[in-house]
Amino acid sequence: MKLPRSVREADVAGASVLVRADLNVPLEDGRVADDARIRASLPTLRLLLDRGAREVRVCSHLGRPKTDEDRAKYAIEPVRARLRELLPDDRVVVLENTRFAPGETKNDEAFARELADGSELYVNDAFGSAHRAHSSTEGVAHLLPAYAGLLLLDELAHLGRLLGEVERPFVLVSGGAKVEDKVGVLQSLGARADRVLIGGKMAQEVAERSPFQTGVDLLLPRDAVCADSFSADAETQVCSVDAVPEGWFSLDIGPETREEFAAEIAKARTVFWNGPMGVFEWPRFAEGTFAVARAVADCDGYTIVGGGDSVRAVHEVGVADRISWISTGGGASLELLEGKELPGVAAIPAEGSSSC
């Protein structure tokens, strides 16, 4: 994979630098509930400050504001306050939520020029938004000398390994609700993997109409935790996937499947996991996802976890520090692994390009 040129190549001394970070974090009661993405942006910001940038202007979207009420709900101030706590430096300026501007998601050139005004360089460090051609992710890169931030480069390097020669066996673990959301990456990585493990609601869809070509070694659940209603406090029982009572719902993989999945992951030398094994947000149906999280952490090979619920699971189980790479990008990581070009990356000149 050809990488974009790095921020390390840029001469930032005395310059005002516009940084597109991914500060789209969850908020609770007007405060940042999880600052992982803010912390992930710090290495690039510190590099720019250490190398003498006059000013570092940070921009990001936050949520999906659509109404006037949303403007109050998704104002950037809580994020600005947390970044100020983590990185107390008066040279850092956090701009308002980019999605407050109607032109942002339309990749409007006028808004891109508004963002670029006053800066001499642009750095994109928002891998989680790199699959979107927006003013702040793609448009600005054509107006200023553009570079890739450290997080963006790390994401491309780690995920890119899965598209090259990998140490085998290579096991792909996928879950979630809909095959349609992941059919591209299932086909792309499924053809490369030695074994594909499918959980979650999508396992039933795969069983009924597989998106794979012939030759894929596919492992589907044998048993499930079933519920008599789709609710957190439903009556449950473990049953074979071929004997789910009429009117009941399969809401998690069962104990036999957990053991089988764990055994396959233990043999792997490369693992990519994206997607929960059940209705993970309800604790009674989270154990299958937790079991996969522990198995991936116990694997001696190279392991990558991506996707909101999968990332949350490895943190909740307390094994995040035992994963080789935890991706900050959901849709961006899937599109990259599907083989698609990411607009926010493509807009940056390639590694080794002239800095002018």
308, 281: one domain: yes
d(CA 255, CA 236): 14
Q: How far is CA 197 from CA 49, 200, 261, in A?
A: 44, 10, 7
221, 321: one domain: yes
104, 28: one domain: yes
Q: Write out the two tokens for 305.
A: 């976890």
Q: How many alpha carbons lie under 13 Å from residue 14 in its C-beta half-sphere?
A: 0
Q: Which of 52, 178, 318, 352 is catalytic?
A: 178
Residue 329 known to be catalytic: no
Range of the structural domain that residue 25 is part of: 7-156+341-346
d(CA 254, CA 239): 8
**pTM surpassing 0.85?**
yes
d(CA 40, CA 50): 17
The domain tally of the chain equals 2
Residue 190 known to be catalytic: no
pLDDT at position 354: 64
pLDDT at position 127: 96
pLDDT at position 182: 81
194, 249: one domain: yes
* Residue at 252: amino acid letter: D
**Cβ–Cβ < 8 Å for 123, 130:** no
Q: Which of 308, 318, 339, 352 is catalytic?
A: 308
Residue 2 within any structural domain of the chain: no
d(CA 49, CA 42): 10
96, 190: one domain: no
Residue 356 within any structural domain of the chain: no
* Residue at 128: amino acid letter: G
151, 194: one domain: no
* Cis check: omega of the bond before 169, within 30 degrees of 0: yes
Residue 284 within any structural domain of the chain: yes
Q: Write out the two tokens for 287.
A: 């154990």
Q: Which of 269, 322, 331, 340 is catalytic?
A: 331
111, 14: one domain: yes
**Cβ–Cβ < 8 Å for 17, 57:** yes
pLDDT at position 179: 74
pLDDT (tens place) for every residue of the chain, 356 residues total: 789 999 999 999 999 999 999 999 999 999 999 898 999 999 999 999 999 999 999 999 999 998 888 888 999 999 999 999 999 999 999 999 999 999 999 999 999 999 999 999 999 999 999 999 999 999 999 999 999 999 999 999 999 999 999 999 999 999 988 777 788 888 888 889 999 999 998 888 888 767 666 678 899 999 999 999 999 999 999 999 999 999 999 999 999 999 999 999 999 999 999 999 999 999 999 999 999 999 999 999 999 999 888 999 999 999 999 999 999 888 899 999 999 999 999 999 998 776 54
116, 223: one domain: no
Residue 355 within any structural domain of the chain: no
Residues forming beta bridges with residue 305, ordered by sequence position:
273, 326
Q: Which of 37, 82, 258, 294 is catalytic?
A: 37
Residue 351 within any structural domain of the chain: no
Question: Residue 180, class by beta-carbon neighbours within 10 Å (0-12 exposed, 13-18 middle, 19+ buried)?
Answer: exposed
184, 329: one domain: yes
Residue 353 within any structural domain of the chain: no
Residue 121 within any structural domain of the chain: yes
**Cβ–Cβ < 8 Å for 256, 223:** yes
146, 263: one domain: no
Residue 1 within any structural domain of the chain: no
pLDDT at position 249: 94
Residue 308 known to be catalytic: yes
146, 200: one domain: no
38, 80: one domain: yes
Residue 331 known to be catalytic: yes
Q: Looking at residue 288, which CATH number applies to its domain? A: 3.40.50.1260
What DSSP assignment string belongs to 86-109? HS--TTEEEPP-GGGSTTTTTT-H
Residues in the chain: 356
